[in-house]
Amino acid sequence: MIGIDPGKNGGVALVGSDGTAEAWAMPQTVSDMVELFRSFKDIDGCWLEKVHSMPGQGVASSFSFGQNYGQIQSAVIAAGIPLHDVAPGIWMKTLGLGVSMKEIGKQAWKVHLKGLAQQHFPSIKVTLKNADALLLAEYGLRECLNGK
């Protein structure tokens, strides 16, 4: 299963049903994305965090963010991998992550997610860039195992 956090500082993770995991920082070009995704074998699906522009985000920033999101979708599809978009609230609720970002603030939330990802995947180096992607891949794996 692949998980993708599409943010500028996001990442890509690959998680197997046997508990193995690998993670990468987000590739910088579409060609690099396609190359990475095509290198994966026997993938059941890709779970991409469904994102949108946020209040206070500038027009140029929103455009760039949306463009990157579309490029990621295209790269996954070009690699022949089934794509599933999932809203943050859905995957986070399903995984039962405890506190919310509103309760502890954005930076503390990111550190919290990193800690949870490290607990799930102690054999790899979890970073702020790949933690969300690892948890998204874990969510996708659970969804597939539950027949969804």
Confidence grade of residue 144 (pLDDT, cut at 50, 70, 90): confident
Identity of residue 85: D
The pLDDT value recorded for residue 62 is 55
| 129/96 Cα distance (integer angstroms) | 21
| Number of C-beta neighbours around residue 78 at 10 A | 13
**Which residues lie closer than 8 Å to 99 by C-beta, 6 or more apart?**
109, 112
pTM: 0.86
| Cβ–Cβ < 8 Å for 145, 56 | no
Mean pLDDT (whole number) for 100-109: 75
What are the chain's domains?
Answer: 2-145 (3.30.420.10)
> Which alpha helices (DSSP H) does the chain contain, by range?
30-39, 59-78, 88-95, 101-104, 106-120, 131-145
| Cβ–Cβ < 8 Å for 145, 127 | no
Which residues is 3 bridged to in the sheet?
A: 13, 47
Confidence grade of residue 122 (pLDDT, cut at 50, 70, 90): very high
**Which residues lie closer than 8 Å to 31 by C-beta, 6 or more apart?**
none
Mean pLDDT (whole number) for 90-114: 81
Q: Is pLDDT at 27 greater than 60 in this prediction?
A: yes
Show the tokens assigned to 7: 């943010």
Residue 125, burial from CB neighbour count under 10 angstroms (0-12, 13-18, 19+)? exposed
